Amino acid sequence: MIILALDDEEKGLAVLVDAIKKASGLDNIHAYNDYQEALDYAKDNIIDVAFLDINLNGYSGLDVAHHLKKFNPKVNIIFATGYSDFESQAFAMHASGYLTKPITPGAVKDELENLRYDIKDTYKDKVFIRTFGNFDVFVNNVPVKFQRSLSKEVLAYLVDRNGAIVTRVELAELLFGDEDYSRKTQDYLSKIIRDLVASLKAAGCENILLKERNAYGIKKEMVTVDSYLYLKGDPKAINSFDGSYMAQYVWGEDAMEKFY
């Protein structure tokens, strides 16, 4: 489930995100204080549920909802606001829910359990990433073919970082060691990234990659990863650990310390 949260007040956003995390069990909530940044993200990414404040420093959360529905007509809009007088307008546009502040985990959970549109974890169901032994990615049990081995290594490193954002400079250090971060190196890295995106797109799972300005990450909520399950205590994943991790990469052995 991909959840977006929007509130122009930092304190209000923090309370909302905390309630969503407690209610959903998800760690990665896409939270924004600025409505334009939220729309920019939603334009290029799948959003299942959007929690929106209505008064957004001169802009209306109702207008944000209209834009989100243009991107995805089946997005579940849940308004989370301190005002009750917009409720009729919210439901006129087929919102999934309406919460009045203060927002509580219990209220959020009720809304998530009664969404207007069903959510199918399309990517998570079909994308499995194996990190124990050699690193490989499978879509519907078919291995993804990567155009470059370095593109595959970039994805492996993003998976190892467990959802953390990785800069281009860090990726260059990983792939090219102490080589200067020159224009030539930057251009080569750009080709590697483009090939990674192309390989994932060909497999139908390009949206598992999080792209920010000069940085990348893996969308944990859209994949099933054996090592992630291991760290959560999943018995099957624990039994599948054979003592090796990302075996084809020199950095894999040092990264394996997290399992002991």
pLDDT tens digits, one per residue of 173-208: 999 988 888 899 999 999 999 999 999 998 888 889
Closest to 15 measured CA to CA, from 126, 141, 122, 100: 100
pLDDT band at 61 (very low <50, low <70, confident <90, very high): confident
* φ, ψ for residue 10, nearest 5 deg: -60, -45
Which of 24-28, 96-100, 179-183 has the least mean pLDDT? 24-28
pLDDT at 145 exceeding the cut of 90: yes
* φ, ψ for residue 130, nearest 5 deg: -100, 125
The pLDDT tens digits of the residues spanning 36-56 come to 999 988 887 778 899 998 877
pLDDT band at 125 (very low <50, low <70, confident <90, very high): low
Say what the pTM is. Answer: 0.57
| Sequence-distant (≥ 6) Cβ neighbours of residue 232 within 8 angstroms | none
Q: What is the C-alpha separation between 193 and 26, in angstroms, rounded?
A: 28
Q: What is the pLDDT of residue 121?
A: 53
pLDDT at 140 exceeding the cut of 70: yes
pLDDT at 248 exceeding the cut of 70: yes
Which of 13-22, 62-71, 152-161, 185-194 has the least mean pLDDT? 62-71
> How do beta strands 136-139 and 127-130 pair?
antiparallel
Q: What is the pLDDT of residue 256?
A: 86
Is the CA virtual torsion 160, 254, 228, 148 positive or negative? Answer: positive
DSSP for 238-253, please give it.
HHH--S-BSTTSTTHH
pLDDT band at 57 (very low <50, low <70, confident <90, very high): confident
Mean pLDDT over all residues of the chain?
A: 88
For the chain, list the domains and their CATH numbers. 3-112 (3.40.50.2300), 124-259 (1.10.10.10)
The pLDDT tens digits of the residues spanning 209-231 come to 998 888 999 998 889 999 999 99
User: Max Cα separation, the chain?
Assistant: 61
